[in-house]
Structure 1
């Protein structure tokens, strides 16, 4: 049975401008399968980085990439709402 979708090579995806999918890299501080702490700590680190270095500091985006990769979207939305309402339980500043 022929496949419906044609195979796309890496060269084709670069030429077409396709999005490269990645996940968070290994962090030896969080060696277990449960990545909840890694998710939460990356979220905190991102907001701390922006608080200290400013919104335009590019290296902070690493933490954003990590937490967007491993955190459930509902958690991120909840935490962002809590930050906006000044009731987030973590220490950011």
Structure 2
């Protein structure tokens, strides 16, 4: 692809992460929340890098919310995992 710089390629990788996470959620019977939310967080972070270089404010705000939701999901999954370990002990 001509005319693309490093930030655009980083953004494409971030896009692939988010699409991959959505596909994983759709195709897997019981998705692992750590895989799902980590992949979404990575995608949001990579897209944010790209959007800082090529500023698009609405998309940058969207990625901020996407990252916040992923972090919330990771915290929720971590708490649930700790709770299960405590109950098993």
TM-score with structure 2 length normalisation?
0.39
Higher helix fraction: Structure 1 or Structure 2? 2
- Structure with higher Rg: it is 1
Q: What TM-score do the two structures reach when normalised by structure 1?
A: 0.38
